[in-house]
Amino acid sequence: MMRRHFLTYLALSTMAIAQPILDLYGKNPTVFSAAKMSSLEVALFVLIIVLVPALLATGLDRLTRFLGPKVNEATRLWIIAGFSFLLGIAVARWISVDGNIGAFTLGFLFAAVVPIAYDRKKAIREWSRWLSVLAIAVTASAILQLQPILFQSDGPTSDAVIGNKDVSVLHIVFDEFPLYSLLSDDGTINAERYPGFAALARESTWYRNNVAESNFTHQAVPAILASAIPQQEGGPFLTQYPKNIFTLFAGKTSVGGIEPVTSLCPKSVCAGTDEVNALFEFSRFKSFMRDASYVYGQRVLPPVFRKYVPSIEGTWGGFGAVANKFKEQFDVGALSQVDAIANGTRALVEDSQSRVQVVHALAPHAPWRITPDDRVAPLSPSISTSNPESEDGVRDTYQTFLYQVAAADNAIADVMSQLKKSGKWDKTMLVVTADHGISFVPTLPQRHTDFTEKETISDIYRIPTFIKYPQQSQAVVSDCAMSNLDLLPTIIETTETKTSWVFGGKSVAQSCPANRVREVVSATGETNVISGGFEEVLERVAYYADVVSNEGPNRRVAAIGSSASLIGSRIASSDQNTSVSSWTVNQKKSFTNVSDQRGAKVPSLVTGNVRLSAPLEVGTEGIIAINGVAAGVIGELSGARDVVPYTAILDYTLLTPGDLSVELFVRTPDGAVTKVGSPR
């Protein structure tokens, strides 16, 4: 009898829980790659999702048998009602019933009808048991979709013969890094803000007309490392892209890789940490299961409950484990990704033989927290991975992004320093690129594109690309119409490697391939041909210079709006402002005992509210002062009324060690400045 009840519970839990979760995860296998889940952990995950709800229900059913038949029967019907309610609200989401009323109506309808029918009709009870076969079907479907993770291999055996074994390759792939952000108005690298990239450009070939292949990491990185047109189905796995830079050079020279999202390098080649290599790691698995609960909540629950579940949509390129790889910066330090570049460089420097070292670093990818002096700003919900509707909100986001670009520049400067100090600079082929860019335009997506907006296409697909060839010491600027598909073939030619393997790109080491048709793809399946040149980037440089000026050092990123000229100068006023009754700073405590140490948390981004006693004119701005020096601008005060939430980016150089005072001033459109004072 208990076996029959288990089959009923299994049928209901499969439809209500397992199918919604495994369908989503099966279609998004990148989450497993990002979490570095082992085959055992993936198999265990599937089994838990399919079996555990039914087993728990069966256990409760069995336990209540000791309380008498009436209690046992009532418990059984309540369990069925619970599963039925979940099935009802899942069906509501499936048929696009998004409101609370519709979702709860379906949920309670299922919760009432199914238990009653089960209790009164023997045929329904038999039918519910036969439906348990769905568990087998759902499990089989998940196994088919997750084959690349469940059944891992070492990839094909390479026939490569390296002709020049004196050359080492350091291949750095940045993430979410548009070319426009590095440039001055004249189209040169902005040396004042980004001395590292400027120094690299002086000793390398800058391919300023290069484009990314896709707008999302799970496609864009394999396109680079396997020189293969991204596939719409599947994920960034070795089985999907078996012929890649790792398998090509494996066994022929020393090979290493740092892959935070993809899984292209065989574990036998790229040895990870003990935690990554572990067949089962409890904390990793626990975090993954926690995220699965978030995924389920966001996919099934009605809006009234869904708002309390951590968001999985539009966050760092994906849900759950993919987001976790970027959120990892919250736990192990915001500098973990720029440090990955240093670690990869160190691995090459310390290797006694030539080496092919790949580093994919999630920088300057969100969350944008790092300052140009490698300190860390607080997290803020006002800085998200969705462009706000207001220009001021987008500008705030872009400012934090530019600060983190400067941190990426520090990493490049460190790479060059390590290579030169080790004596390996001349014999190293240094390849620096990005998987894709990002766009900061109000109301438009940051990375999604259907190729109807020309401006965002340039933002997303035009990325920085530098190749420092062995023995190169002079700057070369190339307008070759290339794509990231060409990087691996260029490495092959430069190392004088012979192989029968065929790749999608062409080498640009000696000449630029003629008559190129650069077709790029989006993660949603659309394609587009990019035929323009560097002039498209210059248009975007001019656009973004109006959002945040690209003149002056990095501290000038905080200088925006009509009050920009005041930032960095002492500010005072004997006139008391009468329009602001009070204001708050959520990070007020962070101005106490400020540290200048690398990785220290500093309030370079502040949020709060300004409470008004009278409306403000359009064009009015707030100025936040630190120790009497103007440090940042509150643009939200323009034409404001009542209570105004704000976000402001501060001049990080003013966050000096010790305790700092914070004050607010108000500047009207005519330039008059009045004092509000300290925050409440």
CB atoms within 10 A of CB 26: 16
Look at residue 295 and tell me whether its pLDDT is greater than 60. yes
So what's the pLDDT on residue 466? 99
So what's the pLDDT on residue 209? 98
pLDDT, one tens digit per residue, over 42-68 is: 999 999 999 999 999 999 999 998 999
Last residue of a domain, one of 150, 180, 202: 150
So what's the pLDDT on residue 543? 98
Give CA 625 to chain center in angstroms. 33
Closest CA to 458 of 381, 518, 402: 518
Q: What domain count does the chain have? A: 3
Look at residue 331 and tell me whether its pLDDT is greater than 50. no
Residue 396 counted as domain residue: yes
Q: Per the omega criterion (within 30 degrees of 0), is the bond before 364 cis?
A: yes
Average pLDDT over residues 88-98: 89
Last residue of a domain, one of 547, 571, 590: 547
So what's the pLDDT on residue 33? 82
Do 135 and 249 lie in one domain? The reply is no
Do 520 and 658 lie in one domain? The reply is no
Last residue of a domain, one of 150, 179, 213: 150
pLDDT, one tens digit per residue, over 441-453 is: 998 889 888 898 8
Higher pLDDT, 148 or 638: 638
Do 169 and 146 lie in one domain? The reply is no
* Joined tokens for residue 169: 């390759």
Look at residue 302 and tell me whether its pLDDT is greater than 50. yes
pLDDT band at 588 (very low <50, low <70, confident <90, very high): very high
So what's the pLDDT on residue 324? 44
Do 441 and 348 lie in one domain? The reply is yes
Do 223 and 281 lie in one domain? The reply is yes
Look at residue 274 and tell me whether its pLDDT is greater than 50. no
Higher pLDDT, 523 or 84: 84
Residue 155 counted as domain residue: no
pLDDT band at 383 (very low <50, low <70, confident <90, very high): confident
pLDDT band at 298 (very low <50, low <70, confident <90, very high): confident
So what's the pLDDT on residue 149? 83
pLDDT band at 314 (very low <50, low <70, confident <90, very high): very low
- Domain that residue 385 falls in: 163-287+323-547
pLDDT band at 319 (very low <50, low <70, confident <90, very high): very low
Residue 615 counted as domain residue: yes
Average pLDDT over residues 414-426: 98
pLDDT, one tens digit per residue, over 492-511 is: 999 999 999 999 999 999 99
Do 536 and 601 lie in one domain? The reply is no
Do 131 and 177 lie in one domain? The reply is no
pLDDT, one tens digit per residue, over 187-229 is: 999 999 999 999 999 999 999 999 999 999 999 999 999 999 9
Q: Specify the amino acid at residue 645.
A: P
Higher pLDDT, 481 or 317: 481
Residue 434 counted as domain residue: yes
So what's the pLDDT on residue 4? 83
Residue 299 counted as domain residue: no
Do 357 and 503 lie in one domain? The reply is yes
Average pLDDT over residues 262-268: 92
Residue 134 counted as domain residue: yes
Least confident of 308-317, 612-621, 626-635: 308-317
pLDDT band at 272 (very low <50, low <70, confident <90, very high): low
Q: Name the pTM for this structure.
A: 0.87
Do 85 and 12 lie in one domain? The reply is yes
- Percentage of the chain beyond pLDDT 70 is 95
Higher pLDDT, 321 or 622: 622
The beta-carbon contacts of 554-559 under 8 Å, at least 24 apart in sequence, are 554/193, 554/372, 554/402, 554/403, 554/406, 554/652, 555/372, 555/651, 555/652, 555/653, 557/399, 557/402, 557/403, 557/649, 558/399, 558/631, 558/632, 558/633, 558/649, 558/650, 558/651, 558/652, 559/633, 559/651
Higher pLDDT, 1 or 144: 144
Residue 219 counted as domain residue: yes
Do 218 and 361 lie in one domain? The reply is yes
Do 257 and 354 lie in one domain? The reply is yes
Give the CATH number, domain containing residue 184: 3.40.720.10
pLDDT band at 620 (very low <50, low <70, confident <90, very high): very high
- Percentage of the chain beyond pLDDT 90 is 77
Do 533 and 418 lie in one domain? The reply is yes
So what's the pLDDT on residue 309? 82
Q: CA 330, CA 259: separation in Å to the nearest integer?
A: 19
User: DSSP letter string over 154-202?
Assistant: --PPP--EES-TT-EEEEEEESS--GGGGB-TTSSB-TTT-HHHHHHHH
So what's the pLDDT on residue 312? 53
Please give the mean pLDDT across all residues of the chain. Answer: 92
Look at residue 1 and tell me whether its pLDDT is greater than 60. no
Look at residue 320 and tell me whether its pLDDT is greater than 60. no
The beta-carbon contacts of 129-136 under 8 Å, at least 24 apart in sequence, are 129/4, 129/7, 129/8, 129/11, 130/11, 131/11, 131/14, 131/15, 132/7, 132/8, 132/10, 132/11, 132/14, 134/11, 134/14, 134/15, 134/19, 135/10, 135/11, 135/14, 135/18, 135/50, 135/51, 135/54
∠ CA 71-74-80, rounded to 5°: 140
Residue 305 counted as domain residue: no
Helix axes 100-120, 69-94, angle to 10 degrees: 140
So what's the pLDDT on residue 17? 95
Higher pLDDT, 355 or 385: 355
So what's the pLDDT on residue 368? 94
Give the CATH number, domain containing residue 635: 2.60.40
